[in-house]
Structure 1
């Protein structure tokens, strides 16, 4: 896994995207994508400008791990609660509890190491507009979790956490859509889109234990 460290580098220097854009001439959208590692192709000239401005080498700009992470569901269950009818859903009343078992694969060139975890995803009972994801690592996988995930550097841990959150949200949305349509007999429509947009806008806390 190869990532850039722009977010960490500008934080260390107490810079922000707007200032960096002004000083380098690189557009704010481009810098934002780079800092979130959403831009898979960065032009050499852009890397050169950033390294010159930050006074670093390309070795300082990039970080590398000799493995990738992949995620597969083993099982999941969704319980939902809301006020509504077959044609209307009160988005503000929508609540859910999504439990699951999944395997996190530490993928090398010639294979992978599986880490089995169970967990839940739901709306916080203590804070408004916040999701809580809880992961529990199976006992037999605790050493692998410690070696490959707990000891990740800050920049790689951020990428890992963000990947877990995106993976779980996508599967949650699929499960909500399926449950509303097949169990609640509600056709997916603008209301379900509003539910997804609302959930996606919430801040997310990721808690892990083993």
Structure 2
């Protein structure tokens, strides 16, 4: 899988399609095709012109991953209000998570983006965090095949994931007043399924560890820990 980073390069260097076209001689339809990553072939001269224009190496323009990544869905889940929001009369908040197919393995990434009708958790900081759990053997398989977690960011930039998330929020009549200035992708391995009696206990501990590593406020973490404990209690009663 090869991603062209032209869209990100133009954004970082504050360049328009017209400016790039005039300076390089590359036609606007070709530029648009590269921006959308739907170009099936690219001439060496086009690569050379773009690398010279942005003063970069080819590896910065065309990023290769032997592992395919594809966004499958953007989910909105109703959650309790958090302290990241300004005090309002609203009681309904929706958390954003994203489902990816990575080389045939489905991963769900939780994020720190929550939105109401009038506000959202990224409005002030613009810092976006992706977090996912995956079994050890699955992660090892991906890494053996050459997968690197930062490629998810490269892929997200190529598909304008910020715009896709905003479209989803707008359709749900939720606030989209934010700009993602920085984000991190974290993938945490959990133990493979073994003794079925210990699977749930292991998962609870892994969830607690993940919550502890996420840069949420203390009050939010307390709520998450309580929710995990409640689930564990209900499970034990069922046993």
How high is the TM-score relative to the length of structure 2? 0.45
Higher strand share: 1
How high is the TM-score relative to the length of structure 1? 0.49
